[in-house]
Chains A and B, each alone.
Chain A
Amino acid sequence: MKASHLVCSIFATTLALNVASAVEPFSPQRFEQARSVIRPQKGEDKWEQIAWRTDLWEARKEAAAAGKPILLWEMDGHPLGCT
């Protein structure tokens, strides 16, 4: 059974959530559909094609040993985990 079907079958026994006043009721199926839209699609983020390391000191060691320059992507808020 696909995960999405399992989730739906579990939710199907419950009433749709009637949430805070301004937000429309969401059925379990609608949550599942929203989830599939929210999660990144394969290939959506081009930067994922690069094998980013997260330890600068280890990157220095690796670059020195391999005879390569270093590419550092530095953001205020981790570029792989913030925005």
Chain B
Amino acid sequence: MANEDYVTVSGDDWYQRRRQDKEGEFFRKVADQGPRKGQGGSTRQGIYCFTADGELLMYKNAGQNADVMREVLEQGLAKWKRLPESRRKPGAVEVGDHGTVDRRYVRIPPRGGLIAVVYTRILDKDSKGEICKGTCPTLGGERAARDHLWLTSDEVRSFIPADAKAGSTFAIPSAIAERILRFHLVDNTRGEPPAWRREDIRKSEMKLTVTAMTESECRLQFSGQALLADASDAASSKRGYEVALAGELRYDRKAGNFTRFDITAVGEHWGEGAFTRGARPGRQLLGVAIELAGDKPADRIPPQFAREWNAYFGKN
């Protein structure tokens, strides 16, 4: 029903409710017809059905609840069909140009940089001691959460020292290590987590070893470990992640980009944030898998913490 009867679009309310341009004004006009009017700058998140000229047909705030989504779709479509044909027919509504975009609330991937998708999932061990999916009472909390990692073209090219050769081992650039640690080794499986502060990185080592080098390609083994904790004494910290990392990277030396960027992190996480309540008690296994993104529109969605652009790129 969604694909056939609707034009489907998704968005991040944090940006949409702030944008001071035609798109932001249009979104707020639609949303303000419903119960969530964003008083005091608060969220307008939810599932909306509306017409191209901005009449709200149906709204519910249901997250990933498929049953509620279906109900919204059906009721919204029923209201749509009750509108006069003159308003529903193709071309009945004219949508003008977007006009000037409010760049403060639009994020565009760095030109020539790297986009990787970051999956995070709560884990457990089965009766044989093998890693398996974890379970938790929070709706959707057992599913893999997604985010994206962005690197600039300069950062991509900074990975491998000019004098590297097979067998060379070196640390990954500190700014990149910090970005992965602070913004991507987080438990976002139940909502928006807090990022780690710089001082929360209690211990870290992330290095690359060249396993093969040809004129066209450099293959690298990634390994690392880290201790992230919101107190200097990890044992008494409220939130932390003690984690090991491994992976394989392949760098196209002629094109100057990665053709493989697989990193896996597994370790014990504990604690929760203000918007990620419902964590399993104590230290629990949490895994993160990073890999190159594809070329779908969803692959260009910005990293969650790129809202604070300068902080994400280590500029402050």
Contacts and interface: CB of A to CB of B under 8 A. Distances in A.
Contacts of B43: 76
With most chain B CB atoms within 10 A of its CB, the pick from A7, A33, A38, A55 is A38
Contacts of B120: 38
Interface string A5-25: 011001100100101111100
Contacts of B89: 67
A38 B12 contact: no
A35 B150 CA distance: 20
B77 interface: yes
Contact of A38 (B46, B66, B121, B248): B121
B166 to A, nearest CB: 12
Contacts of B304: 77-78, 81-82
A21 B6 CA distance: 53
A26 B244 contact: yes
Nearest to A17: B244
Contacts of B57: 69
A40 B143 CA distance: 8
A77 B302 CA distance: 10
A67 B91 contact: yes
Contacts of A1: none
Interface stretch (B172-180, B251-259, B263-271): B263-271
Contact of A69 (B16, B51, B225): B51
Contacts of B219: 10
A78 B301 contact: yes
Interface in B246-303: 246, 248, 262, 264, 266-268, 283, 287-289, 291, 297-298, 300-302
Contacts of A50: 2-3, 8
A71 B225 contact: no
A26 B88 CA distance: 59
B239 interface: no
With most chain A CB atoms within 10 A of its CB, the pick from B9, B121, B264, B297 is B9
A54 B80 contact: no
A29 B218 CA distance: 23
Given A50-B2, A74-B46, A83-B188, A68 B10 contact: no
Nearest to B22: A57
A24 B207 CA distance: 19
B242 A64 contact: no
B48 interface: yes
A43 to B, nearest CB: 12
Nearest to B7: A63
A66 B269 CA distance: 48
B242 A23 contact: yes
A30 B130 CA distance: 8
Contact of B95 (A28, A60, A72, A74): A60
Interface string A39-83: 110001111011111111101111111111111111111111111
Nearest to A75: B45
B243 interface: yes
A38 B95 contact: no
B217 interface: no
Interface string B1-20: 01101111111111010000
B12 A76 contact: yes
Interface in B166-199: 188-192
Contacts of B133: 37
5 contacts: A56-B27, A69-B49, A70-B52, A76-B13, A78-B301
- Listed from nearest, the 5 A-B pairs whose CB atoms lie closest are A81-B301, A19-B244, A67-B90, A59-B9, A64-B52
Given A50-B3, A55-B9, 10 more contacts: A38-B120, A38-B121, A40-B146, A46-B66, A52-B298, A56-B26, A60-B26, A70-B6, A76-B13, A78-B12
